[in-house]
Amino acid sequence: MVKIERTPTPPASLAIECKKVHGSYASEDVISQLKKDFHSKCYLCELKDLTDIEVEHLLPHYNRKIKERVFDWNNLFYACPHCNSIKNDRIYDEKIIDCCKVDPESLLDHIYQEGKVNVRPHDPDTQDEKVLMTADLLENCFEKSNTGIRIFQCQERVNRLAETMNALYKTLEALKKKPTSKQYLRALKGMLSREYKFSGFTRYYVRSHIEEYPQLFGKISFE
């Protein structure tokens, strides 16, 4: 999960649909703007270029009982069905940080190691419930194993993440051998962009190993 800059102006359809008895919060303009703002990635697992998407409500509306949340532009998020179904567990209600308002990377460490995902609070002593529950949710998006389907879906995400991280490792090693290579530096900058797939993990890895790559000082920004 990375920081998202949401377009401040709500899509026009929301003002129209909210007046209907069964109005839609997922009209074409909403989907299109969410896709652009969220860089075509699920805001939870960061799987990119989704073919199956859902408009997810950060704060639940409980079957439209809280109607103002249903059409609130700031409450709509771009998600994959897999992650949305996991977040639908009531234990997460009202307890997930808003990545459009705060920077998740300042609060969470996104760790991939030996085929496993570990998302943990950056501050090990934190008692912030939203940070703790968000870490738990994000890890479960990769590691949940309570059903056969979820095992498969999680493993697919871990496999895709592994491919991304292996590409990052190779690029870093290539840059070590050729520290002045503009090609490798350009590729690395792309992998560390918030627009990149699984960038919460790529950015954390490089940030936590930056001492190993002195050639990156002054050339890489995490803004």
Q: Per-residue confidence at 215, pLDDT binned at 50, 70, 90? A: confident
pLDDT value, residue 217:
72
pLDDT score for 137: 98
In percent, the amount of the chain with pLDDT more than 90 equals 83
- The yes-or-no verdict on residue 9 having pLDDT over 90 is yes
* Confidence band for 85, pLDDT divided at 50, 70 and 90: very high
Estimate to the nearest angstrom the gap between the alpha carbon of 50 and the chain centroid: 13
Range 34-55 average pLDDT? 96
Return the domain boundaries, the chain: 12-216
134-186: per-residue pLDDT in tens?
Answer: 999 999 999 998 889 999 999 999 999 999 999 999 999 998 888 888 898 89
Q: Which residues of 163-174 are buried (b: 16+ CB within 10 A; e: fewer)?
A: ebbeebeebbee
Query: Is the pLDDT confidence value at 223 over 80?
Result: no
Q: Which residues pair with 111 in a beta bridge?
A: 118
- pLDDT, tens digit (0-9, with 9 covering 90-100), for 50-78: 889 999 999 999 989 999 999 999 999 99
Residue 125 scores a pLDDT above 80: yes
- Report d(CA 119, CA 46) in Å as an integer: 13
| Residue 212 pLDDT | 85
CB contact at 8 A, 112 and 165: yes
- Residue range 80-89: mean pLDDT, rounded: 96
Q: How confident is the model at residue 99 (pLDDT cuts 50, 70, 90)?
A: very high
Give the pLDDT of residue 47: 96
Q: Is the pLDDT of residue 103 over 80?
A: yes
Model pTM above 0.75: yes
150-159 LR contacts (CB < 8 Å, sep 24+): 150/82, 150/86, 153/82, 154/82, 157/45, 157/47, 157/82, 158/115, 158/116, 158/117
> Do residues 44 and 82 lie in contact, with contact meaning Cβ atoms separated by under 8 Å?
no
Torsion of CA 148, 156, 135, 62, to 10 degrees: -60
Percent of the chain that is helix, strand, coil (3-state, to 5): 50, 10, 40
Q: What percent of the chain lies above the pLDDT cut of 70?
A: 99
